[in-house]
Amino acid sequence: MSKKMSVAAAASLLVFILIAIVTVSGLFGELNYSFENWAYGIESTTLTTILRIVSYLSEWFVYVPIALLLIAVPKWRWKYGIPASITLGSSALLNILLKHGFAIQRPDTHRLITETGFGFPSGHAMNGAAFVGICTLLFVRHSSKQSSKIIVSGLTVLFLLAVGFSRVYLGVHNPTDIIAGYAMGLFLCLCTVCVMDIIQTRKNNATHSQ
């Protein structure tokens, strides 16, 4: 499992690097503009309200209480709480560093909400992929019901896609910001799982050698 996770993590990092290169070079400028225009074209009061809620639910400060709850419950602490909290903290900190490192401005042609700071990569997409992603991966790993694994995985994908679309629709991110956020968040999520597997393997080897 660790080998597959390592390959997936490397692929996620590569996607981020490629998106960063094309974003900095401006190669996707026209594509971003076209998608944004399409999103603005379907604007409605109802859709705006729904996507405002989705955007709010994907704020980092919404994830923090969930992480604290997972830590507070003893049987969830090491299985979910600690890994999820470390992943979320790493994502939030790295996102700040990346935003200031790339210093790419947000789109400003059609804002439906107010946001400050740089736009690349999207913090909502990155933190969501990292935190919700790690929680989902760990749930799938520990759950014995195949139906539950499929349902939770499907809901996770739908939620993250909705988050990404909401940020473009609300006019505060380019599509490339979102894709880069997903890629880096997934990278951090998979790295956490790889580290957990390495630690568990060493524990098992130590136990067998005694």
Q: Is the pLDDT of residue 3 over 90?
A: no
> Whose CA is closest to 130, among 94, 176, 76, 88?
88
28: left (phi over 0), alpha (psi -120 to 50) or beta: alpha
Which one-letter DSSP state was computed for residue 59?
S
| Confidence band for 20, pLDDT divided at 50, 70 and 90 | very high
Pairwise CA distance, residues 173 & 14, whole Å: 21
For the entire predicted model, the pTM comes to 0.91
> Could you tell me if 168 and 178 are in contact, meaning their C-beta atoms sit under 8 angstroms apart?
yes
Q: What is the pLDDT of residues 154-207, one digit of tens each?
A: 999 999 999 999 999 999 999 999 999 999 999 999 999 988 888 877 777 766
What is the per-residue pLDDT for 207? 66
CA distances from 1 to 15, 70, 113, 201, 208 (A): 21, 24, 42, 11, 20
> Could you tell me if 201 and 2 are in contact, meaning their C-beta atoms sit under 8 angstroms apart?
yes
Q: Is the pLDDT of residue 1 over 60?
A: no
Calculate ∠ Cα 15-17-19, nearest 5°.
70
Q: What is the pLDDT of residues 22-70, one digit of tens each?
A: 999 888 778 888 888 888 888 999 999 999 999 999 998 999 999 999 9
Here the tokens at position 208 are 């067998």
Mean pLDDT of 101-128: 92
CA distances from 101 to 32, 79, 124, 174 (A): 21, 34, 18, 17
